[in-house]
């Protein structure tokens, strides 16, 4: 028996044309529009219902929870603007597109979350210092239970949308909704305890809610700033791209892989691809073109590949393995590439060896010490040779 689509799937099918083409900026904008408008309507509704219930009960924690929903609606407006601006095509001033607007929207959402937490903390402290009677009744309980149910659905809905289009903004929205489920549950529990024991926990509950919101907001802020700062891509993506490059016929290896993130759907990559030196330029170019096309189609990566010719018969390839094997005595992650051996250079008539060395983060040996060590290793094979060494750092995929 076929499985019937759930509510979220039916909503997506109704409002998102071409829903599976998640790399297209128009599709991403449609997902963002759907999420933002749905959340704005629901958050405004919850704010009204809990606001009325909180004022009738004289509960600062319920009113604070209602204001939190109003803040969420403001965050949803920011998210909507972020998706709209991010969907704009590249122009002369922004050749890599406007995708990072989505990340900026996430930063603003996180800041708003922290600001709401601070405001709630102030109101809660005032309630603790100057207690006022709280009349908790069925209306308050119903409003809080409704909020928990709606927020739980919103968290799941936005998580699914965010996972489908790989959106930090929607994931932040989902996390905020999950936080609201926890905080509203805490408010409900405190209200029940207060009603049953006549111990007024309203202000303390509001203070706990505000602390939770602020901690969550700071976490969201960190997560949304990371992409703007150029954080390392996921290990899964790096491994997948590297494996795809080296999997093509004629490719001997790949190194210096860099992936630049200019926003969802706006990722660029570059890498050096090692191929046999006796392969024709036309044949090598054809293979690299195929790799670039496939990475664009399958991963959404606009890639530029550089061909490194490798002499597979003698000389440089043996020297590379020799140097790399000896460097393993220092650190097994050290690797070399772009090894060139010139028996008689034009510069001074002596032997010349050029190579790049990739060093991992945290290596205690300095660059100068590493260069001297490599020179000593090369001179064991080629005494008196001039050795030119480039130290690579920061690349996300070393040579193999």
How many domains are contained in the chain? 3
| 164 and 292 part of one domain | no
| 35 and 134 part of one domain | yes
- Which CATH number fits the domain that encloses residue 68? 1.20.1510.10
| 44 and 111 part of one domain | yes
Alpha-carbon span 214 to 114, nearest angstrom: 5
Q: What is the mean pLDDT of residues 130-159?
A: 82
278 burial (CB, 10 Å; 0-12 / 13-18 / 19+) is exposed
- Predicted confidence (pLDDT) per residue in 29-50, tens digit: 788 888 888 888 998 898 888 8
- pTM, two decimals, is 0.58
| 331 and 200 part of one domain | no
What is the reported pLDDT for 316?
A: 47
Residue at 1 is within a domain: no
- Flag whether pLDDT at 346 surpasses 70: no
Domain boundary among 171, 199, 228: 228
What is the reported pLDDT for 348?
A: 59
Residue at 101 is within a domain: yes
| 95 and 167 part of one domain | yes
Residue at 364 is within a domain: yes
Strands 352-358 and 335-342 turn out to be antiparallel
Q: What is the mean pLDDT of residues 185-214?
A: 76
Query: In the chain, how long is the greatest CA-to-CA distance?
Result: 95
Residue at 385 is within a domain: yes
Q: Rank 67-81, 139-153, 215-229, 263-277 by mean pLDDT and report only the highest.
A: 139-153
| 281 and 388 part of one domain | no
| 188 and 273 part of one domain | no
- Predicted confidence (pLDDT) per residue in 365-382, tens digit: 888 888 888 888 888 888
What are the start-end ranges of the H helices in the chain?
A: 7-15, 25-57, 60-86, 100-129, 138-165, 168-197, 202-228, 235-246, 281-299, 316-327, 367-381
Give the domain range for residue 243.
232-311
Q: What is the mean pLDDT of residues 246-269?
A: 83
- Predicted confidence (pLDDT) per residue in 90-134, tens digit: 777 777 777 777 777 778 777 877 887 787 788 778 777 876 666
| 284 and 151 part of one domain | no
And the tokens for 242? 């590297």
What is the reported pLDDT for 150?
A: 92
- Flag whether pLDDT at 220 surpasses 90: no
What is the reported pLDDT for 2?
A: 44
With a CB cutoff of 8 Å and minimum separation 6, the contacts of 369 are: none
| 180 and 74 part of one domain | yes
Angle, helices 138-165/25-57, rounded to nearest 10 degrees: 170
What is the reported pLDDT for 1?
A: 42
| 219 and 173 part of one domain | yes
Cβ proximity of 180 and 120 under 8 Å:
no
Residue at 2 is within a domain: no
| 103 and 34 part of one domain | yes
The dihedral formed by the CA atoms of 274, 276, 282 and 288, expressed in degrees to the nearest 10: -20
What is the reported pLDDT for 400?
A: 45
Alpha-carbon span 400 to 396, nearest angstrom: 12
- Flag whether pLDDT at 287 surpasses 90: yes
With a CB cutoff of 8 Å and minimum separation 6, the contacts of 128 are: 203, 204, 207
- Predicted confidence (pLDDT) per residue in 327-338, tens digit: 888 887 788 887
Q: What is the mean pLDDT of residues 351-371?
A: 83
Q: What is the mean pLDDT of residues 172-184?
A: 81
Residue at 323 is within a domain: yes
What is the reported pLDDT for 290?
A: 93
Q: Which residue has the higher pLDDT, 87 or 365?
A: 365
């Amino acid at each position: 028996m076929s499985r019937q689509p759930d509510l979220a799937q039916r909503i997506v099918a109704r409002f998102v044309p071409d829903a599976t083409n998640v790399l297209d900026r128009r599709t991403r904008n449609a997902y963002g529009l759907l999420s933002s408008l749905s959340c704005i309507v629901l958050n405004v509704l919850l704010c009204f219902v809990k606001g009325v219930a909180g004022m009738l009960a004289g509960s600062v924690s319920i009113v604070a929870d209602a204001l939190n929903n109003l803040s969420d609606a403001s965050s949803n407006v920011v998210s909507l603007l972020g998706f709209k601006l991010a969907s704009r095509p590249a122009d002369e001033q922004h050749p890599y597109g406007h995708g990072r607007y989505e990340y900026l929207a996430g930063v603003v959402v996180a800041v708003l979350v922290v600001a709401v937490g601070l405001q709630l903390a102030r109101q809660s402290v005032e309630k603790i210092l100057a207690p006022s009677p709280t009349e908790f009744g069925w209306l308050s309980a119903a409003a809080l239970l409704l909020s928990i149910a709606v927020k739980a659905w919103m968290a799941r809905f936005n998580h699914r949308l965010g996972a489908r289009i790989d959106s930090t903004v929607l994931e932040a929205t989902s996390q905020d909704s999950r936080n609201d489920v926890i905080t509203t549950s805490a408010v409900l529990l405190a209200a029940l305890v207060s009603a049953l024991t006549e111990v007024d926990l309203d202000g303390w509950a509001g203070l706990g809610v505000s602390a939770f919101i602020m901690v969550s907001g700071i976490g969201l802020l960190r997560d949304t700033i990371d992409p703007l700062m150029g954080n390392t891509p996921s290990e899964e993506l790096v491994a997948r791209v590297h494996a795809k490059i080296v999997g093509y016929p004629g490719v001997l290896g790949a190194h210096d892989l860099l992936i630049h993130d200019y926003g969802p759907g706006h990722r660029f990559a570059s890498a050096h691809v090692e191929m046999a030196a006796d392969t024709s330029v036309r044949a090598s170019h054809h293979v690299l073109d195929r790799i670039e096309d496939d990475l664009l189609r399958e991963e959404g990566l606009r890639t530029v590949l550089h061909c490194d010719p490798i002499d597979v018969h003698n000389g440089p390839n043996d020297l590379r393995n020799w140097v790399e094997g000896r460097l393993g005595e220092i650190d097994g992650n050290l690797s070399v590439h772009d090894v060139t051996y010139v028996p008689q250079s034009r510069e001074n008539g002596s032997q010349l060896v050029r190579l790049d060395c990739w060093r991992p983060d945290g290596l205690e040996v300095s660059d100068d010490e590493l260069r001297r060590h490599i020179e000593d290793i090369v001179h064991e094979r080629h005494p008196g040779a001039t050795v030119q060494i480039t130290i690579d750092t920061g690349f996300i995929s070393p040579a193999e």
